[in-house]
Amino acid sequence: MSSNTPRRNSCRGGAGGSRAAPECPPVRRRGSSSCALLSSSSGAQGEENLSVRLSQSLLAITLRLFLAVDLWLSKQLGVCASEESAWGSIRPLVRLVELSGHVLPWLAGSLYTLLRGDSVAEKEIMLNLTLALILDLLTVRAVRTVVRRRRPAQNRADLLSTLFVERCSFPSGHASRAALCARFCAARLVDTASVRVLVVSWAALLGLSQLLLSRHYVTDVGFGLAQGYLQYGLVERLWVTWDCLRDLLLVRVRGSLDRAYSDLWAVAWKLGVGRYG
């Protein structure tokens, strides 16, 4: 009889007639909770690493696809790369368009007008155009030094195209110079809308000539046009007036004369002290 009676829980009250105390709460094991937390954290970290790898792989695939399209489109557009190409008969005309955007004619013309200009306003415009061309040369050289992208394989070097031309391709210096000069001329030298259209068309044709001659890839020309367009905004912000340049030159000349005068005075004073001392 007593053996069939179930044993009372040790957590219940000791007195048989007293009211039963509430059962003790179940004991939580520390090891199981830490293992659960560890497994959940490792699972979250694994999912995060997997998402990072997937995003990196998608980015690499997208970049490779973009470069493949760039290479294919550039090769298709290079129809004037040589005389044996599809449009090789118009190659001299395309090279003439390319020559119109070379840095030498633009620098020579701006310097000549700066030195032989009649009005102060004309000299001021030519001065800033010269500074803008120098800025374009420096920025293109800096980007090419960093990127170091080779020119297309079907590019054929000519005598005029090899002047100040590097082996690096990105970005296109002709395209950058075309966008810079077109925006400069449209803002400072052109008054009518029809001439502005002609200037913009010339810049577009110059960029297209680099693709037809296989000088650059499509991305080179696109980045060069964007770079030249943005460079003019910097030229506008840093516009150098003729009065400011004259004052700067006068200050420098005056400082040089003052230093030379003080040096002569110091030498004369030393000679006088040495003679009468």
Residue 189: Cβ-neighbour burial (10 angstroms; 0-12, 13-18, 19+): middle
Residue 177 lies in a domain: yes
Instruction: State the catalytic residue, choosing from 102, 144, 174, 183.
Output: 174
Residue 75 lies in a domain: no
- Which structural domain, as residue segments, surrounds residue 223? 88-242
Classify 168 as helix, strand or coil: strand
pTM assigned to the model = 0.69
Inside any domain, residue 122: yes
User: Distance between CA atoms of 248 and 219, rounded to whole angstroms?
Assistant: 41
Asked whether the beta carbons of 42 and 54 are under 8 A apart, the reply is no
Residue 149 lies inside a defined structural domain of this protein? yes
Largest CA distance in the chain: 140
> Which of 183, 165, 181, 158 has the alpha carbon at shortest distance from 220?
165
Question: Angle CA(80)–CA(82)–CA(88) in degrees, nearest 5?
Answer: 50
State both tokens at 41: 């954290």
pLDDT tens by residue, 31-48: 445 455 445 555 556 666
- The total of structural domains in the chain comes to 1
Please tell me the distance from the alpha carbon of residue 201 to that of residue 52, in angstroms, as a whole number. 45
Q: Which residue did the predictor score with more confidence, 11 or 104?
A: 104
Lowest mean pLDDT among 57-61, 77-81, 107-111: 57-61
Catalytic one among 216, 219, 228, 231? 216
What residues are paired with 239 via a beta bridge? none
Q: Each residue of 212-269: pLDDT tens digit?
A: 998 999 999 999 999 999 999 999 999 988 777 776 665 555 555 456 546 555 555 5
Average pLDDT over residues 96-116: 90
Is residue 13 domain-resident?
Answer: no
Cα gap 230→222, rounded to integer Å: 13
Has residue 189 got a pLDDT over 80? yes
224 is a domain residue: yes
Residue 198, pLDDT above cutoff 90: yes
Q: Catalytic: 174?
A: yes
Residue 195 neighbours by CB distance under 10 Å:
13
Structure confidence at residue 274 (pLDDT)? 53
Residue 196 included in any domain = yes
pLDDT digit string (tens) for 109-160?
999 988 887 888 888 899 999 999 999 999 999 999 999 898 888 887 665 5
Give the DSSP per-residue string, 97-143. Answer: HHHTT-HHHHHHHHHHHHHH-SSHHHHHHHHHHHHHHHHHHHHHHHH
Assess if residue 73 is contained within a domain. Answer: no
Average pLDDT in the chain: 77
